[in-house]
Amino acid sequence: MEYIDLRSDTVTKPTPEMREVMAEAEVGDDVFRDDPTVNRLEEIAAEKMGKEASIFVPSGTMGNLIALLVHCQRGDEVILGNQSHIFLNEAGGMSALGGIQPNPIQNQKDGTLALDDILASIRDSEDVHQPITRLICLENTQNICGGVPLTVEYTRQVGELARKKGLSLHIDGARIFNAAVAQNVPVKDLVEPADSVMFCLSKGLASPIGSMLVGTGKFIARARHIRKMLGGGMRQVGVIAAAGIVSLEKMVDRLADDHMRARKLAEGLHQIKGIDVDEGSPHTNMIYLNLSMDAKVDLIQVGKSMKDNGILLDAYHPRRLRLVTHYWIDDDAVEKSIAAFKKALN
């Protein structure tokens, strides 16, 4: 059975064009900097982000970890959101592998970290009892807060605060292009205040694997060394980088289709008794919802019913659910999903 997969935009498969260019890609040894396709991808990524240089890494988790290891020494502290991917979903790598201490502060409903909370979390560097604050991390779009995009104005405010306090700013921009498209702003403007940015080529941009880390030339030179340390030095990886070039050149503008279909799906779900879609959802390509307390089934049961009807959900919580649209969710898939939810809830 060919499933309609709403679990995540990480499930995207390479497009037909990607498969063609992957098969024909010119390759070399990337550790020796000999892979022309990887080199081209890194040039494009840096240019699109308005940064000096970039490096291709296997995953967003590795990209974020590399950034943290470049910015921080052992015993240093990072200010980040208590709902951030780095804090919740990256297996504690910053602590386990970097000896870096997280200082999580509350994410606001709009995905931001309150400026006053950031200020209050910065340590007194003269106090020998305290760790040294080195870095602030933002996530854009903020996944758990609903896939909500952070604004250019807010990011600039955090960047100014960081500079005044002698701190660096890293953006986990796994879905930064969704944020740019949703707000109709240049992605360069969204990341201009950041010292480093990670973004994914997979997810909405539909590459089968890979993420990019961007920053200054000096930053990326150090990142290249740490990537090798972590086992991320890949060889003839141009066969994958070729898909990434298609992602950046062909797949960004169409993210608006994913956002439109998420809205269409949410509108349909609003009409189903027993489903409460979060206020304002979707902000981008994610719909967050709850089963109301009077629903006769839980999400485990709903998930089973949906799978029987050819639709996959990430239904691990009894009441709360995230649905994600992507390249492989078309208008027909949206209509079938709404119909299947009606059946499952009744």
- Mean pLDDT throughout 231-257? 96
Per residue in 256-287, pLDDT tens?
999 999 999 999 999 999 999 999 999 999 99
Per residue in 55-80, pLDDT tens?
999 999 999 999 999 999 999 999 99
Question: For residues 259 and 284, is the Cβ–Cβ distance under 8 A?
Answer: yes
Would you say domain 13-250 falls under CATH 3.40.640.10? yes
Q: What is the pTM of this model?
A: 0.96
Measure the CA–CA gap between 137 and 128, rounded to whole angstroms: 24
What beta strand segments (E) does the chain contain?
Answer: 4-5, 53-57, 77-81, 101-105, 133-139, 168-172, 196-200, 211-215, 275-277, 286-291, 311-312, 320-324
Measure the CA–CA gap between 110 and 106, rounded to whole angstroms: 11
Give long-range contacts, CB 8 A cutoff, 24+ apart: 235-238.
235/29, 235/30, 235/31, 236/27, 236/28, 236/29, 236/30, 236/35, 237/27, 237/30, 237/35, 237/38, 237/56, 238/25, 238/26, 238/27, 238/28, 238/30, 238/35, 238/36, 238/37, 238/38
Per residue in 282-322, pLDDT tens?
999 999 999 988 878 888 889 999 999 999 999 878 889 99
Would you say domain 254-345 falls under CATH 3.40.50.1110? no
Q: What is the separation, in whole angstroms, between the first and last Cα of the chain?
A: 24
Measure the CA–CA gap between 154 and 141, rounded to whole angstroms: 13
In the chain, which residues fall in CATH 3.90.1150.10?
254-345
Q: Is the pLDDT of residue 1 over 80?
A: no
Q: What is the pLDDT of residue 326?
A: 97
Share of the chain above pLDDT 70, in %: 100
Per residue in 125-134, pLDDT tens?
889 999 999 9
In the chain, which residues fall in CATH 3.40.640.10?
13-250
Measure the CA–CA gap between 57 and 198, rounded to whole angstroms: 10
Q: What is the pLDDT of residue 299?
A: 87
Q: Is the pLDDT of residue 23 over 90?
A: yes
